[in-house]
A and B are shown apart, each in its own frame.
Chain A
């Protein structure tokens, strides 16, 4: 018996989904047996176990390797098996159909490039048939065929098959999913699996095996604009290598890259690789690569590199379709960790627009929670700006997961950019940074020379809470420690740079904050640690601090909030000081935060060792 006809030239991941008991495992067992793909040992082992337990051998048992599962007769987790057919290696993911195990079905389908969806001819279209069909679409599995199984139980009748096809096509049509094929089969008896059925002469379409053969590898994403998600920055030797996966497009040595959301830019100097001769000079979608740049810019994991003419979106909010798998419901207002490609950032659910019932795609309005296994439309708001795409244009940078406590608890696709109030300033920062004229001295040069990185310490709070006093004390302490720090007092701007503003304009925050932010941006470019307060903005400090943040990005902002009594600090506050202040202790806490954020090296006087990769 031979398993292979030709040398394998590609792998294709296929997931088998459908309602529980509609015959997925049997289909697989049959497919393997009829293509001669079963290792001898495996068949013997399963047959021996069946005999021992006194039950008839079934093809399904081959794929339910755990004995517990065989006793229950359902697949608990996704199992992966392999078989080779006509020069292609298929990785078959058998996903459970029971609704209790939806998270496993989703884990299985998320890995797939194509799917077979099974429907029992006798039972017809069931709840999970619909849910799985909808989720395949949400997960981005666009190639799939519908296999109508157990045709032997309905006397191989064409009208039954046609009825199921009509009903299910209508359902799929509502979200524009189009299956490659509907195939009538009997997995148990082997009709239309590998061999053409002799009992269903009315069907002239392809068998399951033919259909698998007709599935193509994913569309060439390398023809799209470039997306490289920065995974890490390595400095194991003299090379400083930016690594990541190219999720779309291609790049080559000499390309000018823009990193979003930091707006940092540099040219690719080399493409690095181990044991590849000659050294590569380009890369394309799918590859995990490493590049060095012609300039030592500081970029971080989570940024997306692209070419300048096709930038990703940047915002702190987006609208999405999400499925929830968490043990506890998703709640409006709760904090979750958002992961988009390699970016990780805290977020909260700003609003839940509606819950989608996958049975009839009806929409229920006005819920404040999303329960396990539900699908919803919602808006997420992040703590810091994130670079992303709409999933309709870019798959990998247009989808995300939410982490609740320790586990991935949900996932989804981004459907719409939500404009936030910082958009105008962010656009200004982007234009400004792209045109920024640099000298010969780089940020890294300054950091090495000064022994620290640039940052803004921004002290917020109401009147008479000791902000100015703390700011002066901190500046003094930093300079005494040998740091390059500067107290930027708003009063000095008010009478100088802001002298042209009318009394009315000075009463509003917008323009004052913009100018203040641009000055802070210049000072951080000189490598200084800028110590500042929101005094000039009075009680509008929340709005002002957001604007300053946007304009000095990506320099770290260490936000310190002072209040006489307990009160809610502005979002993203790092150090909260409430009640009577011990200024020495407060200064020490801010210094610790500067160390934690990698602004200060750990030991004063020692050669700076930064906590993050440079």
Chain B
């Protein structure tokens, strides 16, 4: 438990730095386990309040249970929920059969860029973790994005001790990653410790499958698992050697690298 409290202290510190330094701040919430833990940590940092909007980029292809869960928590926790959608791309018929990277770029990357641009957010908090996949392992806690939302991973600013990049030229924005040091197991251990409500798609409900990572319905497949409780999940993860995002189609080949360079979360 001590290691979870240490992770919590660090994430809370980062969230408070973000709130102090960014006038127009938003937090991305995909309703998955990570960004829900992040949301919980915001309630920790601000003593039960969430003093900035929660942003959801809705691709329209999300699993319906995720939307129900989103609206329920938004009501119960009095969240300021802002939903963005690339309506133009959807109207033009964008879907995963037109290419997975193309679809993610249009509906997620560009959907996010439109949302940030329309609302003028200068700080965006995201729940990415270093252990998810290679490109995220190289992230800073406070990571600048240029005017086009692009990430220059070759020339990242120094980040020392608890001092983060909080100043930036006009027109650019900063991505803030309070969960960078958390692992998948830490997330579940913390959900258990704090009793955080999560979507039951993560659990096996009798057919021997569950989702390990949640995304759009067509591009996310469940894994074979009989984990019916959080404890079962933690136990399962201790013994797995399968990558967490193996059920996520956009990670294949150079997918994630190309996506993230252009501003994907």
Which residues on A are within 8 Å of B, measured CB to CB? 1-4, 8-11, 13, 36, 38-42, 65-68, 76-82, 89, 91, 103-104, 106-107, 110, 231-232, 234, 236-237, 239, 241, 243, 245, 272-275, 286-288, 290, 301, 325, 337, 339, 341, 396, 399, 401, 403, 405-409, 411
B162 at interface, CB cutoff 8 A: yes
* Contact A110 B161, CB 8 Å, known A231-B20, A245-B13, A274-B47: yes
Closest 4 CB pairs of A and B: A65-B134, A41-B243, A80-B130, A288-B12
Partner of B43, one of A38, A104, A274, A409: A274
* Contact A239 B47, CB 8 Å, known A3-B238, A11-B7: yes
CA A80 – CA B141 in complex, angstroms?
A: 12
Query: Is the CB–CB distance between B246 and A401 below 8 Å?
Result: no
Shortest beta-carbon distance from B141 to chain A in Å: 9
CA A80 – CA B139 in complex, angstroms?
A: 9
Chain A residues contacting B137 (CB-CB under 8 Å) are 65, 79-81
Partner of A82, one of B157, B183, B243: B183
B160 at interface, CB cutoff 8 A: yes
Shortest beta-carbon distance from B124 to chain A in Å: 17
Query: Is the CB–CB distance between A237 and B49 below 8 Å?
Result: yes
Apart from A232-B20, A288-B9: 14 A-B pairs, beta carbons within 8 A: A3-B239, A66-B138, A66-B153, A68-B154, A76-B138, A77-B153, A82-B130, A107-B159, A231-B20, A288-B8, A288-B45, A337-B167, A406-B169, A408-B157
Shortest beta-carbon distance from A358 to chain B in Å: 17
Shortest beta-carbon distance from B175 to chain A in Å: 15
Query: Is the CB–CB distance between A8 and B47 below 8 Å?
Result: no
Query: Is the CB–CB distance between B46 and A408 below 8 Å?
Result: no
Shortest beta-carbon distance from B188 to chain A in Å: 12
CA A4 – CA B189 in complex, angstroms?
A: 15
Chain A residues contacting B157 (CB-CB under 8 Å) are 103, 407-408
Query: Is the CB–CB distance between B181 and A80 below 8 Å?
Result: yes
Residue of B with least CB distance to A62 = B134
B242 at interface, CB cutoff 8 A: yes
Partner of B156, one of A66, A104, A234, A275: A104
Chain B residues contacting A301 (CB-CB under 8 Å) are 20
Chain B residues contacting A11 (CB-CB under 8 Å) are 3, 6-7, 181
Chain A residues contacting B108 (CB-CB under 8 Å) are none
* Contact A407 B165, CB 8 Å, known A2-B239, A41-B242, A91-B181: yes
Query: Is the CB–CB distance between B243 and A42 below 8 Å?
Result: yes
Partner of A234, one of B7, B47, B158, B160: B47
Chain B residues 216 to 265 lying within 8 A of chain A, measured CB to CB, are 238-244, 246, 254, 257
Shortest beta-carbon distance from B234 to chain A in Å: 9
Chain A residues contacting B169 (CB-CB under 8 Å) are 406
Chain B residues contacting A9 (CB-CB under 8 Å) are 2-3
Query: Is the CB–CB distance between B138 and A65 below 8 Å?
Result: yes
Query: Is the CB–CB distance between B163 and A411 below 8 Å?
Result: yes
Query: Is the CB–CB distance between A77 and B9 below 8 Å?
Result: no
13 contacts between A and B (CB under 8 A): A3-B240, A10-B2, A39-B240, A41-B243, A65-B134, A66-B135, A79-B138, A81-B130, A81-B131, A104-B156, A288-B12, A337-B167, A411-B161
Chain A residues contacting B7 (CB-CB under 8 Å) are 11
B19 at interface, CB cutoff 8 A: yes
Q: Is the interface of A mostly helix, strand, loop or mixed?
A: mixed
Chain B residues contacting A396 (CB-CB under 8 Å) are 161-162
Partner of A408, one of B3, B43, B163: B163
Chain B residues contacting A42 (CB-CB under 8 Å) are 243
Query: Is the CB–CB distance between B158 and A408 below 8 Å?
Result: yes
CA A408 – CA B167 in complex, angstroms?
A: 9
CA A61 – CA B133 in complex, angstroms?
A: 14
Chain A residues contacting B6 (CB-CB under 8 Å) are 11, 286
Partner of A89, one of B3, B49, B167, B243: B3
Chain B residues 169 to 188 lying within 8 A of chain A, measured CB to CB, are 169, 180-181, 183, 185
Query: Is the CB–CB distance between B194 and A275 below 8 Å?
Result: yes
Query: Is the CB–CB distance between A274 and B153 below 8 Å?
Result: no
Query: Is the CB–CB distance between B13 and A288 below 8 Å?
Result: yes
Chain A residues contacting B61 (CB-CB under 8 Å) are none
* Contact A77 B138, CB 8 Å, known A245-B13, A275-B194: yes
Chain B residues contacting A77 (CB-CB under 8 Å) are 138, 153-154, 156
Query: Is the CB–CB distance between B131 and A82 below 8 Å?
Result: yes
Chain B residues contacting A39 (CB-CB under 8 Å) are 240-244
Chain A residues contacting B185 (CB-CB under 8 Å) are 8
Chain B residues 114 to 163 lying within 8 A of chain A, measured CB to CB, are 130-131, 133-135, 137-138, 140, 153-154, 156-163
CA A237 – CA B180 in complex, angstroms?
A: 30
